């Protein structure tokens, strides 16, 4: 990581999908997902610029196993843009499961970016939908605001955090994943695959203690 003090200037904290459905008791609970909340609160206080994302699906979204008769959650199917894992219904627009965790203290967040709202396309990354073509607008927003180094935290490490980090690099940003402020789902060793992918893309992985 560069020697600039994190949190100021061109740095932004990207808080990915810290929503009730990804926390224990939620519909797509990430093991110990709620543990990231106090860590993120501490980190957020060190950042002048904070952006939040929310997974935000219409009811009946194509990523839901319930939309495919005979299919079960966590099976993979082929769709127009390639492989798609089928999930339990989660983060349906306007439901309590889609709400941000109530203990998240990020009142100074400047943007809440919602993704996954197209009925037929999933969106793990905060930058591109899973068709790898449709932009969410985040890269343009960050560029227009002069933000160049993205520190990523949240849920889930091996899906939305991973794909956001990869796409952030591809879009030319410096990217750092604060790993102890993330938790993974870990399907078929996806956490190990995430660490390898991030290493290959020269995404730094640090601990929150390196910042606050």
Question: What would you report as the CA-atom Rg of the chain, rounded to the nearest whole angstrom?
Answer: 16
Q: Which does 151 bind (CB under 5 to 8 A by kind): Zn ion, ligand VGL, none?
A: none
Judged by CB under 6 A, the chain residues 15 through 74 that form the site for ligand VGL are 17, 22, 55
Binding segment for ligand VGL (CB under 6 A), chosen from 43-51, 153-161, 164-172, 195-203, is 153-161
Q: Which residue is nearest to Zn ion (CB)?
A: 55
Handedness of CA 142, 143, 145, 150 (dihedral sign): positive
Taking the C-alpha atoms of residue 211 and residue 181, their distance in angstroms, rounded to an integer, is 12
3 is catalytic: no
131 is catalytic: no
Joined together, the tokens standing for residue 120 give 């037929």
Among 86, 159, 198, 208, binds ligand VGL (CB under 6 A): 159
State the residues that interact with Zn ion by CB under 5 A: 55
Among 15, 37, 52, 156, binds ligand VGL (CB under 6 A): 156
- CB distance 87 to 63 below 8 Å: yes
Q: Which residue lies nearer to Zn ion by CB, 55 or 179?
A: 55
- CB distance 121 to 131 below 8 Å: yes
Joined together, the tokens standing for residue 203 give 């995404």
Name the residue with tokens 């060190």.
46
Q: Which residues pair with 54 in a beta bridge?
A: 114
We find the least distance from the C-beta atom of residue 8 to ligand VGL, in angstroms, to be: 28
Assess 155 for contact with ligand VGL (CB under 6 A).
yes
Catalytic residue of the set 11, 21, 23, 160? 160
């Amino acid at each position: 990581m560069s020697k600039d003090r994190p949190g100021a200037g061109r740095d932004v904290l990207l808080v990915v999908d810290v929503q009730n459905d990804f926390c224990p008791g939620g519909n797509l609970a990430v093991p110990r997902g709620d543990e990231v909340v106090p860590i993120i609160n501490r980190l957020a206080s060190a950042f002048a610029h904070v952006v939040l994302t929310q997974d935000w699906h219409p009811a009946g979204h194509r990523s839901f196993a319930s939309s495919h008769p005979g299919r079960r959650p966590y099976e993979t199917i082929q769709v127009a843009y390639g492989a798609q894992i089928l999930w339990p219904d989660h983060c349906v627009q306007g439901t309590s499961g889609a709400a941000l965790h109530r203990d998240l203290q990020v009142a100074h967040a400047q943007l809440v970016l919602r993704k996954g709202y197209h009925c037929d396309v999933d969106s793990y990354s905060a930058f591109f939908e899973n068709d790898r073509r449709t932009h969410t607008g985040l890269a343009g927003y960050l560029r227009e605001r002069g933000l160049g180094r993205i520190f990523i935290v949240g849920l889930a490490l091996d899906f939305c955090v991973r794909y956001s980090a990869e796409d952030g690099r591809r879009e030319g940003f410096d990217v750092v994943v604060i790993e102890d402020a993330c938790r993974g789902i870990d399907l078929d060793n996806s956490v190990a695959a995430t660490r390898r992918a991030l290493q290959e893309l020269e995404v730094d992985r640090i601990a929150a203690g390196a910042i606050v």
